[in-house]
Chain A
Amino acid sequence: MKSIIFQTASKYLLPLLLLFSVFILLRGHYLPGGGFVGGLMAAIAFILYSFAFGLKETKSIVKLNPRYLMPVGLAVSILAAVSPWLVNLPVMTGLWYDEPLKLIGMVGSSLFFDIGVYLVVIGSTLTIMFSISETI
Chain B
Amino acid sequence: MIFAVISGFILAALVPLFSSFARNLIPKIYPFLPLGIFIYLGTCFSQVTQNAPMHWSYNWVPSFGVNLDFRLDGLALLFGMLITGIGTLVFFYSSYYLKEDKYLDRFYGYLSMFMAAMLGLVLSDNLISLFVFWELTSISSFFLIGYKNDDPSSRKSALMALGITGFGGLVLLAGLIWIGFVGGSYSIIELVNSSELIKSHEAYPWIIGLLFIGAFTKSAQFPFHFWLPGAMKAPTPVSTYLHSATMVKAGIYLLARFTPVLGGTDSWNWTLILVGGITMLYAAAHSLFRTDLKSILAYSTISALGILVFLLGVGTEDALLAAGIFILTHALYKATLFLITGIIDHETGTREVTSLGGLQKVMKPVALAGYLAALSSAGVPLFLGFISKEIMYESTFHFSNWAIILTASIVLTKVFLFVAGFWVGIKPFTGNLPQEHAKAKMPSPLLWIPPVFLAGLCVLFGVFPGILDAFMQTVFNSMSPEGEVIHLALWHGLNWVLVLSLLTLGLGFALYKFLKPSQSLKGKLAPFDKFAPIELMERIGITFQSFAGSWTGFFQNGYLRNYVISILIFLTVLAGYRLYDGVDIHLDWSQISDITPSEFLVVVLMVTSIFFALITKTRTGVIVALGIIGLANCLFFLYYSAPDLAMTQFSIDTLTVLLFMLVLFQLPKNRSFSTRKLRVRDGALSLMFGVLISILALEVFEAPSYTEVSEYYAENAYLLAKGKNVVNVILVDFRGIDTLVETVVLVIAAMGVFSLLKLNLNPFNKE
Contacts and interface: CB of A to CB of B under 8 A. Distances in A.
Interface string B719-751: 011111101110111001101100110110111
A47 B655 contact: yes
A85 interface: no
Interface string B647-676: 110011011001101110010000000000
Contact of A44 (B655, B666, B733, B740): B655
Given A34-B731, A92-B737, A110-B721, A123 B750 contact: yes
19 contacts: A24-B647, A30-B725, A32-B644, A33-B644, A34-B732, A37-B644, A40-B655, A67-B754, A77-B740, A78-B740, A81-B737, A94-B733, A110-B732, A113-B732, A114-B732, A120-B743, A120-B747, A124-B750, A129-B662
A121 to B, nearest CB: 7
Given A131-B754, A136-B662, A34 B725 contact: yes
A33 B739 CA distance: 15
A128 B750 contact: yes
A41 B743 contact: no
A43 B727 CA distance: 22
A108 interface: yes
A35 B733 CA distance: 13
Nearest to A41: B651
Interface in A84-136: 91-92, 94, 96, 106, 108, 110, 113-114, 116-117, 120-121, 123-125, 127-129, 131-136
Contacts of A34: 644, 725, 727-728, 731-732
B344 to A, nearest CB: 58
A30 B744 CA distance: 25
Nearest to A71: B747
A120 B654 contact: no
Interface in B696-736: 720-725, 727-729, 731-733, 736
Given A44-B654, A81-B737, A29 B728 contact: yes
Contacts of A47: 655, 658
A109 to B, nearest CB: 9
A128 B659 CA distance: 9
A110 to B, nearest CB: 4
Interface in A10-40: 24, 28-37, 40
B525 to A, nearest CB: 61
Contacts of A36: 648, 731
Contact of A116 (B651, B731, B743): B743
Interface of A: 24, 28-37, 40-41, 43-44, 47-48, 51, 67, 70-71, 73-74, 77-78, 81, 91-92, 94, 96, 106, 108, 110, 113-114, 116-117, 120-121, 123-125, 127-129, 131-136
Given A30-B723, A77-B739, A131-B754, 5 more contacts: A30-B725, A74-B744, A94-B720, A110-B732, A125-B655
Contacts of B751: 70, 127
B656 to A, nearest CB: 11
Contact of B724 (A31, A123, A133): A31
A91 B733 CA distance: 10
A4 B737 CA distance: 46
Contact of B662 (A73, A77, A78, A132): A132
A81 B750 contact: no
A41 to B, nearest CB: 6
A132 to B, nearest CB: 6
Interface of B: 643-644, 647-648, 651-652, 654-655, 658-659, 661-663, 666, 720-725, 727-729, 731-733, 736-737, 739-740, 743-744, 746-747, 749-751, 753-754, 757-758
Contacts of A117: 731-732, 739, 743
A51 B663 CA distance: 12
Contacts of A30: 723-725
B155 to A, nearest CB: 38
B662 A128 contact: no
Contacts of B721: 94, 110
B724 A29 contact: yes
A110 B731 CA distance: 10
Contacts of A123: 747, 750
Nearest to A48: B658
A2 B662 CA distance: 15
Contact of A132 (B733, B736, B746, B757): B757
Nearest to A70: B747
B325 to A, nearest CB: 56
A35 B732 contact: yes
Contacts of A48: 658
B736 A81 contact: yes
A116 B736 CA distance: 12
Contacts of B758: 131, 135
Contacts of B732: 28-29, 34-35, 110, 113-114, 117
Contacts of A133: 662
Contacts of B728: 28-29, 33-34, 114
B649 to A, nearest CB: 10
Contacts of B655: 40, 43-44, 47, 125
A89 B698 CA distance: 45
Contact of A74 (B652, B663, B724, B743): B743
A127 B721 CA distance: 33
B754 A128 contact: yes
A48 B643 CA distance: 24
A40 B751 CA distance: 17
A31 B739 CA distance: 19
B720 to A, nearest CB: 7
A125 B747 CA distance: 9
A29 B648 contact: no
Contact of B753 (A33, A40, A128): A128
Contact of B648 (A40, A91, A96, A134): A40
A97 B658 CA distance: 40
Contacts of A135: 757-758
Nearest to B717: A29
Nearest to B652: A40
Kindly name the residue among A36, A43, A73 whose own CB sees the greatest number of chain B CB atoms within 10 A. A36
Kindly name the residue among A29, A44, A48, A121 whose own CB sees the greatest number of chain B CB atoms within 10 A. A29
Contact of A131 (B654, B666, B725, B753): B753
Nearest to A134: B757
A25 to B, nearest CB: 10
Contacts of B740: 77-78, 81, 113
Nearest to A43: B655
A127 B652 CA distance: 16
Nearest to B736: A92
A73 B758 CA distance: 23
Nearest to B651: A40
Contacts of A129: 658-659, 662
Contacts of A29: 722-725, 728-729, 732
B736 A113 contact: yes
The 8 nearest A-B residue pairs measured at CB: A124-B750, A40-B651, A32-B643, A29-B723, A30-B724, A120-B743, A127-B750, A34-B728
A14 to B, nearest CB: 15
A132 B659 contact: yes
Contacts of B666: 136
Contacts of B744: 74
Given A32-B644, A37-B644, A94-B720, A110 B733 contact: yes
A94 B662 contact: no
A67 B746 CA distance: 12
